[in-house]
């Protein structure tokens, strides 16, 4: 039996860094949480591991793997702290980043702003070459001109270079020449070519994604190298893996090469947890709600599966306005940002109304109650004053909160300027964020064809269980589940994610004219690339491949994804592919058009290794009486009674399987607090999950 039997999940959020240590032999979980260190996130990683080692001596040498999720990439894009980057593109396409899709996200707002490109125009150079849409060369690349463009960018002091030429997804020859030129002139320069990052149709999306990858690649590479050395310095010899936005995990080598793939790595893990719990409990329709210190994100799980979408946006100028951000075209779990977090700032808007977020006080200085210099009241301040949080038991008592300072801040900054009572101001902050999240959640669920009245809300994050009851009530959901250790739900999700990598190739051809042997060769090439990528994980396990194709009616602007279970594409009948397309299309849009011809656009492969299953430990607290779990009573605000009423406070660590009780109740654990109103009842299952019904 291996002497390495520990796995560590580590999720760096905007406010807190979460840790979950799993003993694979016993299933025992050990939890830790510490404040994120924005200047160098690896500081918090080392601090958290050292704190864990006090509780589990000697685990570091017995680490089999460390699985990591980070907001570093997305933060560097939002804060524009990436590398000075250059772009080499086809003549005439220098301004594609600004042209985009030429769609105004707010057509009636003459002052609507768009995000500035990550690369200023002076760093975007052209080369005179042209490849046709079928991959044949119309105008050969002039090597001397390519060398001149490379030299010019190097003289301008760029740290990273993106290369994106027209139709290179069909024929990458010219991009590969420029890459060779770059590496011969500057072997240490960071290079991203679109054929390797995203060999897919649509010029703007491909350029934007390749540029984003190049922009964050040096920073990500340095961080992952530093983190790896940091882990080695404290005695860890375990393999380091990174969470992908698509719900799989990958090696640090792959993450460093394609950092654009890990933009949503942290929030994705909570959804993977929810998907696992849904299968475990036979609850196929779930609404995962993850609210941390900075943001709140959600995902609808239908039929036991979290959807994966091919594109998303980052750095939106208008937070909830689609089209106002930078487009990234990589596979990502279908997450939606539905609100602010515990650190989100409450203020009086220019219209004289209450506004919560989107600005956040983050980890430093944090909300007023943290006592770290924050002066603007936030959601956590309101939750504390409402009685939902215990100022002496935040993070298990490790961090004392200043309730009086929070009270003064809300009075001075909100109640007086709005000329409302103090209670109206405090409850308004809590209720407004719930209302905002519920409105966004209803839209998200409706867009996916779901029904909020049948979903089970699953709460994650430090602030999620505090707000989940109010959110579920506003959604009309019948049930709420709060897993044990919900405050570190993302870190726990790392253990249920497969090692996987998604690949895509564009090749436009009609169904009737397609050469299925040529398509099989495309699939085989992608599967070989997926094998090479997964073998970086240092494994000899069997690799599983899932194939699918993107099809559309000829001339249509969007595609429909159709799974292809067969392993031999030439053996598939054309009429079967057509029937599958019509079936999926009809389910999505209510009808199909049998007489209209269809065409292939993209071919996709997901390569994955067998999942290492997480065995949830059964709840064994040694307690069997509800009275033993009661810590006492404290007044907290009731949204139903519209006044402070006594809430019974329970110690979650003294709960036992089969325990049942009614609200109003507050259930406390180190990393999060669950609020239950007086119209709800709570049941505890054999794993310690809280099932709350209204």
Query: 157 and 43 share a domain?
Result: no
User: What mean pLDDT value characterizes the chain?
Assistant: 89
* Predicted local distance difference test score (pLDDT) of residue 584: 92
Q: Extract the tokens encoding 135.
A: 């991959």
Closest CA to 346 of 255, 411, 267: 411
Query: 18 and 143 share a domain?
Result: no
Q: Are 487 and 462 in contact (CB under 8 A)?
A: yes
Query: 250 and 275 share a domain?
Result: no
pLDDT band at 1 (very low <50, low <70, confident <90, very high): very low
Query: 524 and 462 share a domain?
Result: no
Residue-number span of the structural domain to which 448 is assigned:
267-341+438-494
| pLDDT surpassing 90 at residue 366 | no
Query: 15 and 103 share a domain?
Result: no
pLDDT band at 275 (very low <50, low <70, confident <90, very high): confident
For 101-149, how does the pLDDT look when each residue is reduced to its tens digit (9 = 90+)? Answer: 888 888 888 888 888 999 999 999 999 999 999 899 999 999 999 999 9
- The β-bridge relationship of strands 326-328 and 332-333 is unpaired
Domain membership of residue 377 (yes or no) is yes
Which of these three, 580, 608, 636, is where a domain ends? 608
Which of these three, 550, 580, 608, is where a domain ends? 608
* Predicted local distance difference test score (pLDDT) of residue 538: 61
pLDDT band at 319 (very low <50, low <70, confident <90, very high): low
More confident residue, 506 or 618: 506
Domain membership of residue 212 (yes or no) is no
Query: 85 and 171 share a domain?
Result: yes
For 499-553, how does the pLDDT look when each residue is reduced to its tens digit (9 = 90+)? Answer: 889 999 999 999 999 999 999 999 999 999 999 888 876 667 789 999 999 999 9
Domain membership of residue 302 (yes or no) is yes
Closest CA to 209 of 459, 474, 504, 11: 504
Query: 420 and 513 share a domain?
Result: no
* Predicted local distance difference test score (pLDDT) of residue 341: 78
Domain membership of residue 422 (yes or no) is yes
Query: 599 and 508 share a domain?
Result: yes
Range among 234-238, 297-301, 637-641 with highest mean pLDDT value: 637-641
Closest CA to 467 of 533, 399, 383, 387: 383
Q: Are 448 and 307 in contact (CB under 8 A)?
A: yes
CATH assignment at residue 504: 3.30.1490
Query: 507 and 599 share a domain?
Result: yes
The pTM assigned to this predicted structure is 0.83
Domain membership of residue 644 (yes or no) is yes
CATH assignment at residue 10: 3.30.420.40
Domain membership of residue 171 (yes or no) is yes
Domain membership of residue 347 (yes or no) is no
How many domains does the chain contain in total?
6
For 367-417, how does the pLDDT look when each residue is reduced to its tens digit (9 = 90+)? Answer: 888 888 888 898 999 999 999 999 988 877 778 889 999 999 999 999 999
Alpha-carbon span 184 to 190, nearest angstrom: 12
Domain membership of residue 552 (yes or no) is yes
Alpha-carbon span 548 to 564, nearest angstrom: 5
Work out the percent of the chain whose per-residue pLDDT is above 70: 97
Query: 551 and 480 share a domain?
Result: no
Name the phi and psi angles at 317, rounded to 5.
-70, -40
């Amino acid at each position: 039996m291996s002497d390495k039997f520990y796995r560590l999940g580590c999720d760096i959020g905007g406010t807190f860094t979460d840790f979950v240590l799993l003993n694979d032999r016993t299933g025992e979980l050990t939890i830790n949480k510490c404040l994120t260190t924005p200047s160098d996130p690896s500081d918090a990683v080392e601090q958290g591991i050292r704190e864990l080692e006090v509780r589990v001596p000697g685990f570091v040498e017995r680490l089999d793997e460390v699985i990591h999720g980070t907001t570093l990439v997305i933060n560097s894009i939002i804060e524009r702290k990436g590398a000075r980057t250059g772009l080499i593109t086809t003549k005439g396409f220098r301004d594609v980043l600004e042209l985009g899709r030429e769609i105004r996200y707010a057509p009636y707002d003459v002052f609507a702003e768009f995000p500035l490109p990550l690369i200023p125009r002076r760093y975007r150079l052209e080369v005179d070459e042209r490849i046709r849409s079928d991959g044949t060369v119309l105008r050969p690349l002039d090597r001397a001109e390519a060398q001149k463009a490379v030299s010019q960018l190097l003289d301008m002091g760029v740290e990273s270079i993106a290369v994106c030429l027209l139709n290179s997804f069909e024929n990458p020859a010219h991009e590969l020449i420029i890459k060779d030129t770059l590496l011969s002139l500057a072997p240490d320069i960071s290079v991203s070519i679109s054929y390797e990052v995203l060999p897919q149709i649509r010029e703007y999306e491909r350029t934007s994604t390749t540029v984003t990858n190049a922009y964050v690649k040096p920073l990500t590479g340095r961080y992952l190298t530093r983190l790896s050395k940091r882990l080695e310095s404290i005695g860890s010899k375990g393999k380091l893996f990174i969470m992908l936005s698509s719900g799989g995990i990958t090696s640090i080598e792959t993450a460093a090469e394609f950092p654009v793939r890990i933009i949503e790595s942290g929030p994705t893990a909570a959804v993977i947890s929810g998907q696992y719990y849904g299968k475990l409990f036979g609850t196929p329709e779930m609404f995962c709600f993850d609210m941390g210190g900075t943001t709140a994100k959600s995902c609808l799980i239908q039929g036991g599966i979290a959807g994966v979408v091919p594109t998303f946006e980052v750095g939106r100028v208008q937070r909830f306005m689609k089209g106002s951000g930078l487009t990234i075209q990589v596979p990502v779990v279908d997450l939606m940002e539905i609100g602010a977090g515990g650190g989100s700032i409450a203020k009086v808007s220019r219209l004289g109304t209450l506004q919560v977020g989107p600005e956040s006080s983050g980890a430093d200085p944090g909300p007023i109650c943290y006592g770290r210099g924050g002066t603007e009241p936030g959601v956590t301040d309101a939750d504390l004053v409402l009685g939902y949080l215990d100022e002496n038991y935040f993070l298990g008592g490790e961090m004392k909160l200043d309730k009086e300072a929070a009270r003064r801040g809300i009075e001075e900054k909100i109640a007086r300027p709005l000329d409302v009572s103090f209670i109206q101001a405090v409850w308004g902050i809590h209720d407004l964020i719930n209302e905002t999240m519920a409105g966004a959640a209803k839209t998200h669920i409706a867009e996916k064809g779901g029904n909020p009245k049948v979903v089970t809300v699953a709460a994650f994050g430090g602030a999620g269980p505090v707000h989940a009851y109010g959110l579920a009530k506003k959604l009309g959901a019948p049930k709420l589940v709060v897993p044990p250790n919900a405050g570190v739900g993302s870190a726990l999700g790392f253990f249920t994610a497969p090692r996987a990598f998604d690949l895509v190739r564009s090749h436009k051809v009609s169904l009737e004219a397609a050469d299925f042997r040529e398509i099989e060769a495309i699939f085989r090439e992608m599967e070989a690339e997926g094998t090479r990528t997964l073998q970086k994980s240092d494994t000899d396990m069997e690799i599983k491949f899932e194939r699918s194709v993107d099809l559309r009616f000829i001339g249509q602007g969007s595609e429909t994804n159709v799974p292809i279970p067969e392993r031999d594409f030439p053996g598939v009948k054309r009429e079967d592919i057509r029937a599958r397309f019509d079936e999926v299309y009809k389910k999505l849009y209510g009808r199909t058009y049998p007489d209209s011809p269809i065409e292939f656009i993209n071919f996709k492969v997901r390569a994955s290794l067998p999942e290492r299953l997480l065995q949830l430990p059964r709840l064994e607290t040694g307690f069997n009486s509800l009275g033993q779990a009661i810590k006492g009573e404290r007044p907290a605000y009731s949204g139903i009674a519209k006044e402070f009423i006594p809430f019974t406070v329970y110690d979650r660590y003294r709960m036992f399987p089969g325990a049942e009780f009614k609200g109003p109740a507050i259930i406390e654990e180190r990393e999060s607090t669950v609020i239950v109103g007086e119209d709800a009842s709570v049941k505890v299952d054999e794993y310690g999950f809280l099932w709350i019904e209204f």
